[in-house]
């Protein structure tokens, strides 16, 4: 096992909406971690050999019938354990403490008050005995177990942080992983680095070196094919594999006619001309538009686009008879979500943008060099590999492309109009300095016409909606307050420069209840 994997933190998931954030925060401390379901067996935990364990929050009560539990032997492993929210309650109950329904549930901001002498986990966490935190709980610990001491409370909950320094066991009722807890990253850093003793080998340079070595070991002298979409994940995967094996890599770029303005040419310029990667470009616009004719349902559109991509990719792959490996830009959230869907521990909101089935007839071994990485880690190694900053930090773009940003049926006319409107919108966000402050921005084509006036004539043309959101995790998002003057300028440009549009609207919905994409 490589050095960057020798120090590992195990995170057990009890169903919290924030569990992936815990993993991302641990990675930000430059320590490798993996997220596993709460019912991971003790033998598997021992085999994982963690330097420390984090128990996540969860929606259940510890006394509720069917509530998640953990292997009793977990606390006998002798490694540090941090329980967060439900995880703290489980730990307390295991050691004989009392957990009760709170007289008043706490959701949102709270002020944590230090009690006694904070131990090593909380060193520097409190300022003048206080620290703002984010709460989300209905139960709380009423009586701490023998050997534990109370470190902090709130006005509503008498026990909000506990510790047993001798056994290196810690619990917090609040959520240090969310941005609403300002010093939460510091607390998690202290746990994984100081208490668990991890040195912090998980850095972009080390990740790249490790990935290159593993690719070379796996592939040897074999040839590899990769489906290049122009998105961040497949682009970084291509750059990483090319760094490892050079001309043994061939990329297949399927241009489905649903990309952003000039995106196909930009992909070819970056990879084929500037980096010397072998890229086969397939112009498949007509095939995709024909397959989508008359289809309005979003899920059907996704399946058609994904299925046709696989068909075309397979056709091109069959021409490369000496290829033995199929490379994909699968990243860690894809792996987590797919596992959750299989075990029934995740709800299906919509088909995943980037995950599609491959036909059994494609007899290729799978190469997924990014499957351990979160998106922010992928971006960091993309820059380290020399990819353009604008490509690496480009806003997310769905796998089906404009196919799910054109509401209802997809037509070439609609795609061409939307491409131009979106390009103007993004150009103006860059020009005004808003682009890098926004997490995701795009235009949506609405297949409805409205009355307008241009010059002395009456018009009856289409509507586009502009969307811009701010988010840290894409699980929740708020709409971005674009200044009115900038909105007006963007609207004027789109209406004046894009034939077929006479009305522009701005989406001010948050997630939840809306989603970020419209379909």
Q: What residues are designated binding site for ATP?
A: 229-235
Can you say how many angstroms the Cα of residue 312 is from the centroid of all Cα atoms in its chain? 28
What is the rounded distance in angstroms from the CA atom of residue 130 to the CA atom of residue 250? 57
Establish how many alpha carbons lie within 13 A of residue 378's alpha carbon, considering only the half-sphere containing its beta carbon.
Answer: 27
Strand partners, 443: 466
Catalytic residue among 7, 34, 85, 183: 85
Q: Which two tokens stand for residue 409?
A: 């049926």
Catalytic site includes residue 175: yes
Q: Where are the alpha helices (DSSP H) in 268-354?
A: 285-292, 298-319, 332-343
Q: Which two tokens stand for residue 452?
A: 């307008």
Catalytic residue among 177, 377, 517, 519: 177
What is the rounded distance in angstroms from the CA atom of residue 328 to the CA atom of residue 249? 12
Q: How far is CA 165 from CA 72, 81, 102, 340, 380, in A?
A: 20, 11, 27, 34, 36
Residue 198 contacts by C-beta under 8 Å, 6 or more apart in sequence?
A: 7, 9, 29, 31, 51, 52, 192
Catalytic residue among 175, 183, 242, 353: 175
Phi–psi pair at 455, nearest 5 degrees? 65, -130
Strand partners, 81: 53, 169
Q: First and final CA of the chain: distance in angstroms?
A: 42
Beta sheet of 8-13, edge-to-edge order:
32-37, 8-13, 52-55, 81-84, 169-172, 161-164, 149-153, 98-114, 130-143
Cα dihedral 92, 94, 100, 101 sign: positive
**Cis peptide leading into residue 513 (ω within 30°):** yes
Catalytic site includes residue 489: no
Q: Is 287 exposed, middle or buried (0-12, 13-18, 19+ CB in 10 A)?
A: middle
Q: Which two tokens stand for residue 219?
A: 């592939």
Catalytic site includes residue 352: no
- Collect contacts of 194-199 with beta carbons under 8 A, ≥24 apart: 194/120, 195/52, 195/80, 195/120, 195/121, 195/168, 195/170, 196/7, 196/9, 196/31, 196/51, 196/52, 196/79, 196/80, 197/51, 198/7, 198/9, 198/29, 198/31, 198/51, 198/52, 199/7
What is the rounded distance in angstroms from the CA atom of residue 122 to the CA atom of residue 172? 10
Which residues contribute to the annotated binding site? 229-235
Active site residues: 85, 175, 177
């Amino acid at each position: 096992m490589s050095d960057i994997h020798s120090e590992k933190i195990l995170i057990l998931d009890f169903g919290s909406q924030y569990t992936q954030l815990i993993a991302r925060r641990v990675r930000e401390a430059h320590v490798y971690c993996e997220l596993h379901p709460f019912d991971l067996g003790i033998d598997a935990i021992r085999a994982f050999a963690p330097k420390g364990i984090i128990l996540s929050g969860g929606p259940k009560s510890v006394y509720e019938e069917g509530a998640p539990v953990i292997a009793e032997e977990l606390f006998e492993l002798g490694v540090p354990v941090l329980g967060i929210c439900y995880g703290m309650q489980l730990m307390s109950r295991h050691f004989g403490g009392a957990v009760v329904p709170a007289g008043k549930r706490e959701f949102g901001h709270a002020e944590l008050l230090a009690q006694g002498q904070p131990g090593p986990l909380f060193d520097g966490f409190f300022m003048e005995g206080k620290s703002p935190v984010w709460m989300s709980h209905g139960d709380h610990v009423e009586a701490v177990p023998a050997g534990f001491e109370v470190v902090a409370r709130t006005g509503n909950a008498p026990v909000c942080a506990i510790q047993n320094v001798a056994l290196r066991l810690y619990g917090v009722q609040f959520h240090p992983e969310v941005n609403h807890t300002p010093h939460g990253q510091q607390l998690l850093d202290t746990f994984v680095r100081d208490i668990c003793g991890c040195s912090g080998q998980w850095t972009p340079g080390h990740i790249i070196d490790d990935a290159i070595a593993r690719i070379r070991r796996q592939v040897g002298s074999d040839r590899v094919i990769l489906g290049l979409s122009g998105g961040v994940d497949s682009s970084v995967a291509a750059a990483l594999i090319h760094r490892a094996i050079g001309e043994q890599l061939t990329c297949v770029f399927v241009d489905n006619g649903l990309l952003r303005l000039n995106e196909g040419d930009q992909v070819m310029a970056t990879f084929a001309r500037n980096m010397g990667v072998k890229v086969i470009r397939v112009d498949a616009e007509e095939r995709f538009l024909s397959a989508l004719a008359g289809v309005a349902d979003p899920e059907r559109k996704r399946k058609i686009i994904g299925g046709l991509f696989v068909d075309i990719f397979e056709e091109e792959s069959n021409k490369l008879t000496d290829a033995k490996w199929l490379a994909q830009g699968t990243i860690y959230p894809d792996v987590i979500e797919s596992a959750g869907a299989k075990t029934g521990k995740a709800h299906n909101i919509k088909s995943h943008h980037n995950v599609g089935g491959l036909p059994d007839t494609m007899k290729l071994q799978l190469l997924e060099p990014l499957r351990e990485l979160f998106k922010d880690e992928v971006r960091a190694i993309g820059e380290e590999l020399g990819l353009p900053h604008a490509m690496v930090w480009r806003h997310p773009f769905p796998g089906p492309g404009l196919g799910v940003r054109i509401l209802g049926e997809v037509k070439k006319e609609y795609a061409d109009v939307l491409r131009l409107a979106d390009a103007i919108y993004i150009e103006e966000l860059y020009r005004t300095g808003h682009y890098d402050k926004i997490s995701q921005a795009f235009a949506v084509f609405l297949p409805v016409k409205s009355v307008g006036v241009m010059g002395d004539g009456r018009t009856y043309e289409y509507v586009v909606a502009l969307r811009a959101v701010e988010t840290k995790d894409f699980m929740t998002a708020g709409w971005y307050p674009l200044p009115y003057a900038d909105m007006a300028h963007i609207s004027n440009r789109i209406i004046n420069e894009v034939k077929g549009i006479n009305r522009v609207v701005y989406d001010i919905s948050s997630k939840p209840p809306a989603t970020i994409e419209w379909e």
